[in-house]
Amino acid sequence: MKFSVTVTLKKDVLDPQGKVVQNTLINMGMKNLKNIRQGKHFEIEVDENELSSAEKKVDEMCKKLLVNLIIEDYKINKI
């Protein structure tokens, strides 16, 4: 079973990289750009048949290593 995990900085945490990317795009003429937040993307394959237990495993991976819960949020999607 395959999952995608998207990790982003929490709303209140400053994202200087996102800001630089945003400013560059605006300078390139992308006038309607409102906001950019940069994040990370993981594709994870687990050897499980049941959706709920597979999701649980991926969630554990996020909490234990992939995500720093102090500053980051994450979303898990089945792909």
Partner 1 sequence: MRSSVIVFPGSNCDRDIGVALEKMQFKNQMVWHKETRLPKSDLIVIPGGFSYGDYLRSGAIAGKSLIIDEVIKAANSGCLILGVCNGFQILTETGLLKGTLLRNKNLKFINKDVQIKVLNNETKFTNKYKEEQILKINIAHNEGNFFTDPLHLEKLKNENLIAFKYCDEKGNINENSNPNGSLENIAGIFNDKKNILGMMPHPERMIDEIISNKDGVNLFSSLLS
Near partner 1 by CB under 8 A, which window of 26-34, 45-53, 54-62, 67-75?
Answer: 67-75
The answer to whether 25 contacts partner 1 (rule: CB under 8 A) is no
CA-based nearest residue to 39, from 17, 65, 61, 63: 17
The answer to whether 20 contacts partner 1 (rule: CB under 8 A) is yes
Near partner 1 by CB under 8 A, which window of 13-21, 23-31, 43-51, 55-63?
Answer: 13-21
- Residue 44 buriedness (CB in 10 A; 0-12 / 13-18 / 19+): middle
The answer to whether 61 contacts partner 1 (rule: CB under 8 A) is no
Among the listed residues 1, 46, 66, 76, the single contact to partner 1 using CB under 8 A = 66
DSSP E strand boundaries for 1-79: 2-9, 39-45, 72-78
